[in-house]
Amino acid sequence: MHVTLLGYTPMPEKTIAAAAKLCYSDTGASDLMDGLDDEKTARFLDMLASIGHESPIEHASFTFAIEGVSRTLLAQITRHRIASFSVQSQRYVRQDNFVYITPPAIAEDADTHQLFDDAMQASYEAYNHLADALAAKHKAALTAAGMDEKEAARKAEKMAIEDARFVLPNACETKMVVTMNARSLHNFFRMRCCRRAQWEIRDLATEMLRLCSAAAPALFAHAGPPCCSGACPEGKMSCGKMAEVRESFKAVRNG
């Protein structure tokens, strides 16, 4: 897995503090940034967190490039609907360089690892056989209909791989660009940094939090699973290791 913070709202913390300042003071739009030094900005952000006023933090957004993750993760992260996603298409990009993600529990055992690798290889071979057979079929039909041979080959390839991809596994690697505003990110971290989250998206969320904290430390000072800012809401499903989790995410936020 590799995650890069491509960009974010300039001066994200001061932008949010300015929005909050407008809510709570008789200030004109042209004067919002006046007097907003780092100390006052941090106080505004602490105040917003303490009273649960989250709408001002929507004014800052963060964009990430993510690669080395599975289609299983893609199915999970796109459930976070207040976000923007650009995902490498299996309709347009043939899987010639077939990369797949191996779960750690499978990788740590030689027998299960071999079984997994064999299954991946079988699906890759089936994909290529299907893509080649379908491409030949479509090209023949298109050229018979009068299409130029070069154009027929190009179109046939796309038609072939959009159907051949149905045999590709959830383990198949994907790449994406994701943008979320800070409020959505806080929600994402609450849900996906928790130890009860699935391992791959938990690793992704933790790395995204590390990058966000480096860019805007005051904004994400209390971000992480729910037990970082209060009691664990999981009841009998709790991991029971709240103190350990809090310490681990303190280290994440502090770089």
With beta carbons less than 8 A apart as the criterion, state whether 32 and 39 touch: no
CA distance 131 to 162: 9
pLDDT score of 29: 66
Token pair of 173 as six digits = 């690697």
Q: What is the DSSP string of 116-150?
A: HHHHHHHHHHHHHHHHHHHHHHHHHHHHHTT--HH
- Kindly tell me if the per-residue pLDDT of 109 is higher than 70: yes
Residue percentage of the chain with pLDDT more than 70: 98
- Mean pLDDT, rounded, for 199-217: 97
- Mean pLDDT, rounded, for 231-242: 90
Token pair of 121 as six digits = 């290889």
- Mean pLDDT, rounded, for 162-181: 96
pLDDT band per the 50, 70, 90 thresholds, residue 19: confident
- Kindly tell me if the per-residue pLDDT of 20 is higher than 90: no
- Kindly tell me if the per-residue pLDDT of 32 is higher than 80: no
CA distance 120 to 224: 34
pLDDT single digits (tens) 127-142 = 999 999 999 999 999 9
CA torsion sign for 199, 205, 210, 211 is positive
pLDDT score of 250: 93
Best CA proximity match to 152, nearest among 160, 144, 142: 142
Q: What is the average pLDDT score of the chain?
A: 93
Give the residue, 228 or 8, on which the prediction is more confident.
Answer: 8
- Kindly tell me if the per-residue pLDDT of 150 is higher than 80: yes
pLDDT score of 72: 97
| Residues tagged active-site | 192
Q: Give the SS3 label for residue 220.
A: coil
pLDDT score of 30: 67
Residue whose entry in the numeric block shows the structure tokens 């899987």: 95
pLDDT single digits (tens) 36-91 = 888 888 888 888 888 888 898 999 999 999 999 999 999 999 999 999 999 998 88
